[in-house]
Structure 1
Amino acid sequence: MADLFDTPAAGPDEAPGTPGEGDGAPRPLADRLRPQALDEVIGQETLLGPDGPLGAMLASGALSSLVLWGPPGVGKTTIARLLARETALEFVQISAIFTGVAELRKVFDAARDRRRAGQGTLLFVDEIHRFNRAQQDSFLPHMEDGTILLVGATTENPSFELNAALLSRAQVMVLERLSLADLERLAQRAEAALDRALPLDGTAREALLEMADGDGRAALNLIEQVMGWPVEGRLDVRQLSERLARRAAQYDRSGDAHFNLISALHKSVRGSDPDAALYWFARMLEGGEDPRYLARRITRMAVEDIGLADPQAQAVCLQGWDTYERLGSPEGELALAQALVYLALAPKSNAAYTAYKAARKAAKATGSLAPPKHILNAPTRLMKEQGYGAGYAYDHDAEDAFSGQDYFPEDMARERFYDPVERGFERDLRKRLDWFARRRAERRGG
C-alpha cells in the first residue's frame, strides 16, 4: 500500500519528489512536500534520530536489510528512498500485489548486473507480507550474497506474516502513527508551501487533523481539499463537517487492527474499566466487526476472567447474545454493550480456568492410570471378583452426605487444582472447599 510521500521509483542521483516537474502534470500536495532528507521526516524521530536504530546504522555506515512495520501514511516509502540516497544505492521499488515470479527474476538479474558494475541496489518491497512463503524465500540468497539490500514495508505484524528465515536476515523497524502534534507540523509545512493559512478556526483545524487518523498522506489530502474551497473567513466544525465526509477508521477484520482492538477490549474488561471496554467495543463496531464475533468473545471473557466469582456473568452474556440474534443491528448491540459493562464491574477470578489448565497438564502427565477400583461399577460377577466397587462409600448414607473417600488413581498423589479467590461468590466456594478438606482429613485420620 502506498504511504506518505510515495512516488514512482527514482535513481540514486535523482532527488525524491522531482517526478512530474517540467512535464506540466499537476502534482498532489503530498508529493510536493516529500522530504528531501531524513531529518525532514515528521513523526519518526525515535527511529531516525542520532540515538535511534536507523540513525545509528547510517552513522556507522553499516545499513542492513530492514522491514519497516507501521500503519499507512507514516513515511515507510519515503524513508526507504532517502536511505538509498544516503547510501548511494540504486533505488528499485516493487509491490508484492503486482509482482510475480517472472518480474522478481528480472529484478534480481538487474541487481546482479549492477553489482558487477560496482553499483549496489536497495530493493524496496511494498506490502511484502503479501508475498507467499516461496516468494519470500527467493529473496534470501540475494540478501546473503549482497546482491540486494532489502527494505520491506508492511502494515501487518511481521511475526505472523513473514518467514522466520527472512526475518532472521532483516531488522524490524516499527514506525508509529502520527500524533496530532506531528500532523499539526505537517499542516504548518503545507501552509508555508501554499503561502496561505487553512480557512478553519482552531476547533475545526483540530477536527480536520483528527479525521486523518494518524495518516500523514490523508492529512495532506484533506488539507489540499480544504484549501481548494472558495470560502471567506474561517469555517467552524459544523461547516467543515457539512463539506467534508469523515475518513473511515483504519480497521482490517483479519489483520493487526482486529487482534489489537480485541486484545484492548478484553484487557479493559479484565481491568474492570467499563468505559475503556465500551470505547474499544464501539471502535470495533465502527470498523465493521461482526457483532456475533464480539458476542462470542464477550462470553469467553465471562468464562475466563470472571468464572465462579459471579456465576451469573455467563448467563448475562448468553442472554445478550440471544437478544442480539433476535433484534439484530443496531438495537441488539446495546444488549452486548450491557453485558460488557456487567463483566467489567463483576468480581474477577480465573481460578476455575487455572484449575482446568492444571488438570489438563496432569492428565497428560499421568497417562492411562486407572480409577481406583472402589469407585468402579461392577455389573458382572467377574468384575465383582476383581474387586470392582468393593469398599465404595455411598455419600448420601453419611450423616453430612460426605464420605471423604479418595477418587484419584491409586498411584497418583492427591492434587489441588482449584483454588478459589476471596472475591464474589468464590468466597463461599472457598469456605465449602475448606470444609470438605477438613472433613476429608478427619475421616482419613479416623
Structure 2
Amino acid sequence: MDDFFTTDDPTEAVNEVAPGAPLAERLRPRKLDEVVGQDHLVGEGGSLSRMIGVGKLSSIIFWGPPGTGKTTLARLLATETDLRFKAISAVFSGVADLKKVFAEAEQRQQTGQKTLLFVDEIHRFNRSQQDSFLPFVEKGTVTLVGATTENPSFELNAALLSRTQVLILNRLDSAALSQLLCKAEELEGTTLPLTTNAWEALIASADGDGRFLLNQAETLFSLQIDEPLDPQELAKLLHRRMAVYDKDREGHYNLISALHKAMRGSDPQASLYYLARMLVAGEEPLYVLRRIVRFASEDIGLADPQALVQALAAKDAYQFLGSPEGELAIAQACLYCATAPKSNAAYAAQKSAWRSARQTGSLMPPQNILNAPTKLMKDIGYGADYSYDHETDEGFSGDNYWPEEMEPQQFYAPVDRGFEHKIRERLEYWEKLKSEKSR
C-alpha cells in the first residue's frame, strides 16, 4: 500500500523522497507527462489534461487495477492545481478520522487554501460514511479523488457517483511495463541481469501491476548476479505471482461472464481459456459447474439435450474424483457446450410461460381434461369426451387444452438447428393434423 501523509505544501507530495525509499517511490512521476500507460487521461486531449488546462478540477473516482498510478495521479493533480494534498485510506480510517479531515479542510478554506482529499480503497467505506462526503464535496470544501479497484457502480453510492467523474485507469500493457524497467535501469545505472526471454517473463509476471514489477526489479538489482538469468532461473529466484482474482468481486463476475459468452459464441478455445483462468486462480469448481449446467439449459436446451446430461455428469465426476483429476470432466463439459448447437428457445419459452401464468391467474382448464374421481364431478362434466391420444391412428388427438377464456399461446418456438430441427418438424406435423381435424 502507498504511504499516506498530509502536507501543507502540495509540491512536497511529489518532490520529496525519503532516503532509502523503495525503487517504486524513487521512480514515482514528478509531472503528469511522466505517467506511463494512461495516455487517455494525461496525454494530449486526455480528461485530466483538459481539466488542468482550463484550471478546473472536479471530484474524481479513479477506477483501475492495482499498480496503475491512482495515488500518483492524485498527488500530481494536487501539485498542478495548488491544492493542499491530504490522503487517507478507507481501510484504516473511520468516522472520527473523516470528521477531523473535514474540519481541517473547512479551516483552511477560510484562509483561501483548498484541499484535495485522496481516499484510497474508497469502496471500503460503508454507505453512511460515503454519504458524509456529500456536503463537503458540494460546498467545494474538498476536491475528492477516490481510488478503487472495484466497479464504482456496484460499490459506491449513487449520490456520490453523481457528484464525481469516474475515470478508468488501464491495466499497464507490456510496452508501459517495459518503459518502467528502462527507467529503473537508468536510475540504477545498470542493466537487469536477464536474458531477453526472462525480461519478457518478468513483465508477464507483473500482470499489469507497475508497482509489483518495480519491486521485483529492485530485488534483482540488489542481488549479485554475474550471468543473465533465463526464464527458468528467474522463476526459481522470484516467487510466482498468483492471478488477481477476488471471488466476491468484479473480477469474478467478469470471468464467468466471459466464459458464458465464449461458450454461447461457440468458441471452444476461448471458453477453455476462461475456464482455466477461473480454476487456476482458485475459483470453486462446483460454482463453475453450476454455471455450465445453467448454460446447458439456457443456451443449448433441446438443440442438444445431451448438453445437460454432460454437464450433470461432469458434476458427478468432479464430486467423485475431486481436484485436479475431476477438473478434466469440467473441461469436457465446457468443450461440449461450446461446440453444441445453440438455442435459447426453451429459456425464452419458460420466461414467456411464467409471464403468462402471472397475468392470467387461476383460469380453469377445459373440463374434458380434468380428472373425475367422484360421481359429482362426473355428473357436472369433468372428463367428459376426453380423447385418449394413444387410441388415435396418429397417436395425436388434436384436442384443445387451453382454458376457454384464453386463446392458445405459442411459448416454445424451436430453432432450425440441432435436435430442435426435428422437434420443429414434429410440431409442424401436429399442427397440420390439428388443422385437418378441425375442418
| Aligned equivalent of 1:294 | 288
| Aligned equivalent of 1:34 | 28
2:212 to 218, 242, 248: 218
> Residue 17 of structure 1 contacts residue 32 of structure 1 at CA under 8 Å; is this kept in 2?
no
Any unmatched runs of 5+ in structure 2? Answer: none
In the TM superposition, what are the counterparts of 1:235-254 in structure 2 within 5 Å? 235-254=229-248
Partner Cα separation in structure 2 for residue 214 and residue 58 of structure 1: 27
Partner Cα separation in structure 2 for residue 207 and residue 248 of structure 1: 14
- 2:199 paired with 1:202: no
Worse-superposed segment, 93-102 or 57-66: 57-66
Quote the offset at 1:7 in angstroms: 5.3
Partner Cα separation in structure 2 for residue 318 and residue 368 of structure 1: 35
1:323 to 317, 320, 323: 317
| Aligned equivalent of 2:139 | 145
SS of 2:399 mapped into structure 1: coil
Quote the offset at 1:58 in angstroms: 2.1
| Aligned equivalent of 1:120 | 114
> Residue 16 of structure 1 contacts residue 34 of structure 1 at CA under 8 Å; is this kept in 2?
no
- 2:176 paired with 1:176: no
1:362 to 343, 356, 367: 356
1:424 to 418, 424, 430: 418
Post-superposition Cα deviations, 1:303-354, rounded to whole Å, max 9, x if no partner, equal: 1111111111111111111111111111111111111111111111111111
Partner Cα separation in structure 2 for residue 18 and residue 84 of structure 1: 12
Quote the offset at 1:119 in angstroms: 1.2
Question: Percent sequence identity over matched residues?
Answer: 56
> Residue 42 of structure 1 contacts residue 182 of structure 1 at CA under 8 Å; is this kept in 2?
yes
SS of 2:62 mapped into structure 1: strand
| Aligned equivalent of 2:13 | 16
| Aligned equivalent of 1:97 | 91
> Residue 5 of structure 2 contacts residue 86 of structure 2 at CA under 8 Å; is this kept in 1?
no
Amino acid at match of 1:15: E
Partner Cα separation in structure 2 for residue 117 and residue 16 of structure 1: 21
SS of 2:130 mapped into structure 1: helix
- 2:395 paired with 1:407: no
> Residue 13 of structure 2 contacts residue 85 of structure 2 at CA under 8 Å; is this kept in 1?
no
> Residue 17 of structure 1 contacts residue 31 of structure 1 at CA under 8 Å; is this kept in 2?
no
Quote the offset at 1:296 in angstroms: 1.0
Amino acid at match of 1:354: A
Q: How many residues of Structure 1 are paired with residues of Structure 2 in the alignment?
A: 439
SS of 1:16 mapped into structure 2: helix
SS of 2:86 mapped into structure 1: strand
SS of 1:390 mapped into structure 2: coil
| Aligned equivalent of 2:384 | 390
Post-superposition Cα deviations, 1:107-127, rounded to whole Å, max 9, x if no partner, equal: 111111111111111111111
1:374/1:53 CA distance change after superposition, 3 Å = farther
Partner Cα separation in structure 1 for residue 96 and residue 116 of structure 2: 19
1:191 to 173, 185, 195: 185
Quote the offset at 1:14 in angstroms: 3.0
Quote the offset at 1:18 in angstroms: 4.2
Post-superposition Cα deviations, 1:146-181, rounded to whole Å, max 9, x if no partner, equal: 111111111111111111111111111111100011
> Residue 10 of structure 2 contacts residue 85 of structure 2 at CA under 8 Å; is this kept in 1?
no
> Residue 12 of structure 1 contacts residue 84 of structure 1 at CA under 8 Å; is this kept in 2?
no
Partner Cα separation in structure 2 for residue 55 and residue 382 of structure 1: 85
SS of 1:67 mapped into structure 2: strand
Amino acid at match of 1:360: W
> Residue 17 of structure 2 contacts residue 26 of structure 2 at CA under 8 Å; is this kept in 1?
no
Any unmatched runs of 5+ in structure 1? Answer: none
Normalised by the length of structure 1, the TM-score is: 0.95
> Residue 14 of structure 2 contacts residue 75 of structure 2 at CA under 8 Å; is this kept in 1?
no
Quote the offset at 1:13 in angstroms: 3.4
Partner Cα separation in structure 1 for residue 287 and residue 111 of structure 2: 56
Partner Cα separation in structure 2 for residue 389 and residue 368 of structure 1: 19
SS of 1:192 mapped into structure 2: helix
> Residue 10 of structure 1 contacts residue 16 of structure 1 at CA under 8 Å; is this kept in 2?
yes
Normalised by the length of structure 2, the TM-score is: 0.96
> Residue 16 of structure 1 contacts residue 36 of structure 1 at CA under 8 Å; is this kept in 2?
no
RMSD between superposed Cα atoms in Å: 1.6
